[in-house]
Structures are given as structure tokens and as C-alpha cells.
Homo-oligomer: A and B are copies of this chain.
Amino acid sequence: MGRPDGRTRESDVVNLDPAIAERLRRDGAGLVPAIVQEHGTGEVLMLAWMDDEALHRTLTTGRATYWSRSRKEYWVKGATSGHYQHVRAVALDCDGDTLLVTVEQVGAACHTGAHNCFFDSLEVRLQ
């Protein structure tokens, strides 16, 4: 896999365990969505994106690391805010195209300061 968005690779070494890499089904940009859930509360905090290297770093550092599609760079969650996500578990779904990352969240997960990103409720109104 090349880097998402055609960015030049920092290295040609593919670090992710090949046994995991072969089960991943990536989108056209080489990414899979990662659902982030809080350990203990079960709260769904946010959704972010990983490529192979972000997943490798997440699994081997224990700090949730994503690919920022807007900044086009790796992003250790909390590196600037201090709001780290300490990884408790990572699971791949049945068809290999989505990750579920269970974390201990330091502070707020959302850049707005909210604990999670899903505070905009839409009304379910049966017709």
C-alpha cells in the first residue's frame, strides 16, 4: 500500500504484521474507519481513520494513532491537547473494513471540549 492521498512515504518499510495486513480491506485512499469506544462507560467517542502504519503504531505504542485526512499526517490523539487515548483493545469487523478501538480517554475526546463528538441529536419522527 502507498500512503493515503498519494503522499510520499516516510519509509518503504511496511511495519504492520502481515497476518493483520492481509485481513484489512481498505478504501480507495488506503484507509479504514476506526470507531473509538470508551472502556468502562461504553460511550462511543468519535470516528477516525487509520492506514496500515497508524494501526501498527496504535497496536505497538498503546496510544491511539490515526491518519488525519485534512492534515495528511499521522496524528497521535492527545499529542497537542494532552487528551490521549490509551488503547485497551482493538478489533476488526467481520469483513475487515472497520476497526473498533476501545480506549481509556484522558479528558475530552472531541475538539469542541465535549466528552464525545455525537452531541447533535437528530429527531426520529415516525411518519
A residues engaging B (CB < 8 A)? 20, 23, 33, 35, 37, 41-44, 46-47, 55, 58-62, 87-96, 98, 100, 110-112, 114, 117-127
Contact = CB atoms under 8 A, between A and B. Distances in A.
B91 A61 contact: no
A83 to B, nearest CB: 14
A100 to B, nearest CB: 4
A121 B91 contact: yes
Contacts of A118: 91-94, 98, 100
Contacts of A126: 60-62
23 contacts: A20-B122, A35-B35, A35-B44, A35-B47, A41-B42, A42-B42, A44-B44, A44-B100, A46-B93, A58-B124, A59-B123, A59-B125, A60-B126, A62-B126, A87-B124, A90-B124, A91-B118, A91-B122, A92-B122, A93-B117, A94-B114, A96-B120, A100-B118
